[in-house]
Structure 1
């Protein structure tokens, strides 16, 4: 039985190695890593990505597919729902590092099926909503940066765009500052500042072209 980590890397400061480290820290024993780099989860379905397509060929019944969160599979509600359900139809178990969710098609109990399917829809909807919120924050950050003196950039951010994305995801899931600080390697004060003003965090990264 394989335990395959799928990592989607959409920006230069994200790495598949970082996602693998997170998965192993959560207790997963990864046997294979499949990664798509520089691929948008909004406009490109998993099945249409070069490495994402490989998953449908390599995974068999009983295998486990691990992702950091469902947004690695996609940022589109319909696509994420269909992708998870297709893997379950094939007997593949889908698990997430964040929140430790498990999507298994083996259950025959109708109540468990209803709860599982509702959770799939909820997580997929949150993934799309988070993507839309991130785009809006980025636009606001760019406009904010342009409105300020172009020669003034302020203090260089102590966080990367990948860390900022992780913070937003974990905050959306209700994680506390301590857990977020531990997961990202940042201090609590930095996490608090981002939580209080995400637009300024986006603007700071934009000003420093990070």
Structure 2
């Protein structure tokens, strides 16, 4: 009997995993089980090396559906993400994303369809890595700026958005989603989404100042 398993990952232990399940269920997925990694980097730690990521390789069987919010939940390293997706497809597992409802499986034998599928997988994995690298640079700049503006009173107001919300927004922007859809998915107001979208670097700087 096939199962639908949601794999969720948050980069820090204080982020909430419930949002990823709620978002998946709102998109119509019926989740049988959630496997989640807390505080695991998608950049430096391969999926198969994470405590719960290992379980995916053990649990997933032919016909199962693996649901992720977006491919960056699997990882933010191009080689690791593409290797993982291809491994699961070879096992007969179907991979589906909540954002844009994309489906990847190994069922097709048509070479043109395979080429299009593999190109899309590669593009999404490369985008996830590029976003991670851009975020890291923005965080470094924000931390440097925050340190230069000691004491703490210069941090300004505490941000009205979280790291998880900003990551979701960044992923959805990369997938071509509009402000209204992002607002609905993140719980942020549409004006807030538009403001953050116009200067993601400034948003990263704010989070860095508050160590978020």
Fold-level match, TM-score > 0.5? yes
Q: Deviations over 1:110-162 (max 9, x none)?
A: 11111111111111111111111111111122223233353222222110111
State the superposition RMSD in angstroms.
1.3
1:170 pairs with 169, 172, 175, which one? 172
**Structure 2 alignment gaps of length 5 or more:** none
Partner secondary structure for residue 155 of structure 2: coil
Aligned 8 A contact 2:4 2:65 in 1? yes
In the alignment, the residues of structure 1 paired with residue 79 and residue 71 of structure 2 have an alpha-carbon distance, to the nearest angstrom, of: 12
Aligned 8 A contact 1:13 1:162 in 2? no
In the alignment, the residues of structure 1 paired with residue 116 and residue 209 of structure 2 have an alpha-carbon distance, to the nearest angstrom, of: 44
Deviation at 1:201, TM superposition (A): 1.4
Partner of 1:189: 191
Deviation at 1:23, TM superposition (A): 0.6
In the alignment, the residues of structure 2 paired with residue 130 and residue 52 of structure 1 have an alpha-carbon distance, to the nearest angstrom, of: 21
Partner of 2:125: 124
2:209 pairs with 198, 207, 210, which one? 207
Aligned 8 A contact 1:13 1:161 in 2? no
The more displaced of 43-52 and 166-175 is 166-175
Partner of 2:70: 69
Partner secondary structure for residue 154 of structure 2: coil
Matched, 1:153 2:173: no
Q: Where do 1:9-88 residues align within 5 Å? A: 9-88=10-89
The more displaced of 119-128 and 12-21 is 12-21
Partner secondary structure for residue 209 of structure 1: coil
Partner secondary structure for residue 156 of structure 2: coil
Deviation at 1:75, TM superposition (A): 0.8
Aligned 8 A contact 2:66 2:93 in 1? yes
Aligned length: 210
In the alignment, the residues of structure 2 paired with residue 147 and residue 192 of structure 1 have an alpha-carbon distance, to the nearest angstrom, of: 28
TM-score between the two structures when normalised by the length of structure 1: 0.95
Aligned 8 A contact 2:43 2:132 in 1? yes
Deviation at 1:6, TM superposition (A): 0.5
In the alignment, the residues of structure 2 paired with residue 13 and residue 188 of structure 1 have an alpha-carbon distance, to the nearest angstrom, of: 25
Aligned 8 A contact 1:67 1:96 in 2? yes
Partner secondary structure for residue 152 of structure 1: helix
Partner secondary structure for residue 66 of structure 2: strand
